[in-house]
Every structure is written in C-alpha cells, then in structure tokens.
Amino acid sequence: MTSELPPQLPLDSPAPNSSIFGTVAAASVMAECLRVQADVPPRGAVARRFGRSPLSDESRPWYVGALGELDVASRLDSLGDEWTVLNSAPIGTRGSDIDHVVVGAAGVFTINTKFHEGARVWVGSHRLLVNGQAKDHLRNTRYEATRTQKLLSAAAATDVPVGGVIAIVGAKQITIREQPADIAVLDIARLTRWLKKQKPRLDASSTTTTPPSSPTAASSSPNSPSTPPRDTNEKTDEPPPKPRVHPFTMS
C-alpha cells in the first residue's frame, strides 16, 4: 500500500455511537475499522515520507468497505423526497445491520454494498465470481431481503414486497452473463437509475410508514439467526462478518 488516506474516513474520529445506526452510512464498518486500527503504532518519519499507508492489513478491508458504503449512500441521496433511505439499518437481536434499505413506490430494497477494488466480477443466474473465486454475495443478499420481507410483512399485517440488490463498487470489469431471478447485481453507476425504473407496487402512504430509525419496525425472534451460515471453505478477501458493535434498535 503506497497511498495516503483520503479524508473521508479520518482515523482519529470517535467511534459512532448506537444512536446513529440507521442514519449514518457505514457506521458499523467505520466503528470496526477504528477499533482494529486503534492498536496500530503511528508511522515513522520515513514511512510518512515515502507515503506508506497508516492502515494495517487487518483494518484496510474495513476501510475500503466503509468507502464503498459511503459512495453508495451519497448516490442514494439523489433519489428524491419520494424515497426513504436508511443506512447501516439494524436488524435482528444480535447486532447485525443491512448496508442500505431503500423504500419507494416500487417497494422495499435491501442493498448489499461490495467493494472489489480493481477486480473482475462475473455474474450468472446462480453464481457470482470475483477474480474467478465464488462468493456468497447472492446467498447473503437473498437472506437479508427475505428476512426483511418477513419482518415488515408481519408488522404491516400485509405482504410487503422486498427486493435484494448487490451494488458493486470499484470493480475493473463486471460481466453479467445472466441476472439472478431474485437479486439485482448492479454497478454502482447504474444503481439509482435502476431503482427509479422499477414499477410502482406500493401506494404513497405505504412508503412513509417506516420510521427513520428502523428498517423493519418489528421484533424478530431471539431464536432466529441474524446472519446466514457461512461456507467455511470459502476463500474471501473481504472482512469477516460485522461485529456486534451496537445494540438492536428495532422495537
């Protein structure tokens, strides 16, 4: 690593507190980046002179993940007043969150941001590969969307349509061989345009019933898992699952 940190995520910022989850993009990954980086000694004069990054190998995945979520959030801000956007939206009882939840006339969408810097991404109907290696992005995004749909539908006492979206950030090339039937895989540049083109499925009153502090406004069973099971044989260059860094805020 040879570049200095850009200013979006200063390492001397205080860790986010629980009250901002659901309102501040990348809150949980920023908190974890700062926690991991806290014990890293400062760079010496020589390292600074040659532009060595102050990030450790352990904190860098969290850092770039936060940049990806911040980028997506800034683009979602352009959707307009007819959309409600939640970032780092808490879900479940075990400290899990969803990167972004978007509510509009087309329904509810859970957005899973994936930062793959300079990578080649290949998408098929049942698989997603990054530099030739299979990733669990489809399974995890499907799990988030299905769980959110169940919680919202139970709270509203009616079926609430929820779709899953994977927003790819930083990839060198994205090849869509075939879009999965139930998950949209999009380059970040196409995200807001794709959302605006979706057919309306909710009336105007339905899109404003979700409180800003929670994507679901429903209690989940303490026995239900907050994250899908991981394939222990999967090779991945991504950070481990987000830690339980904030209390559950869903009432």
Residues 51-87 have pLDDT tens digits of 888 999 999 999 999 999 999 999 999 999 999 999 9
Residue 186 pLDDT greater than 70, yes or no: yes
Q: How far apart are CA 136 and CA 123, in angstroms?
A: 12
Q: What are phi and psi of 47, to 5 degrees?
A: -65, -40
Beta pairing partners, 86: 101
Residues 24-57 have pLDDT tens digits of 898 889 988 999 999 999 988 888 888 888 999 9
Which is more confident, 117 or 227? Answer: 117
Task: State the pLDDT at residue 204.
Answer: 66
Global confidence as pTM: 0.74
Stretch 108-129: mean pLDDT: 97
118 Rama sector, left if φ>0, alpha if ψ -120 to 50, beta otherwise: left
CB-based contact 142:198 (threshold 8 Å): no
Edge to edge, the sheet with strand 133-134 lists 133-134, 128-130, 120-123, 173-176
| SS3 state of residue 44 | coil
How many of the other CB atoms lie within 10 Å of CB of 93?
A: 17
Task: State the pLDDT at residue 46.
Answer: 86
Residues 228-248 have pLDDT tens digits of 544 433 334 444 444 433 322
Q: How far apart are CA 191 and CA 199, in angstroms?
A: 15
Q: How far is CA 219 from its chain centroid? A: 21
Q: How far apart are CA 232 and CA 162, in angstroms?
A: 28
Residues 207-230 have pLDDT tens digits of 654 444 454 444 444 444 444 544
Residues 126-148 have pLDDT tens digits of 999 999 999 999 999 999 999 99
Which is more confident, 205 or 125? Answer: 125
Tokens of 108: 């509810």
60-76 vs 27-37: helix crossing angle, rounded to 10? 160
Task: State the pLDDT at residue 117.
Answer: 93
Is residue 206 very low, low, confident or very high in pLDDT (cuts 50, 70, 90)?
Answer: low
Q: How far apart are CA 229 and CA 232, in angstroms?
A: 9
Stretch 106-116: mean pLDDT: 96
Stretch 166-195: mean pLDDT: 97
Stretch 92-106: mean pLDDT: 87
DSSP conformational letter for 151 = H
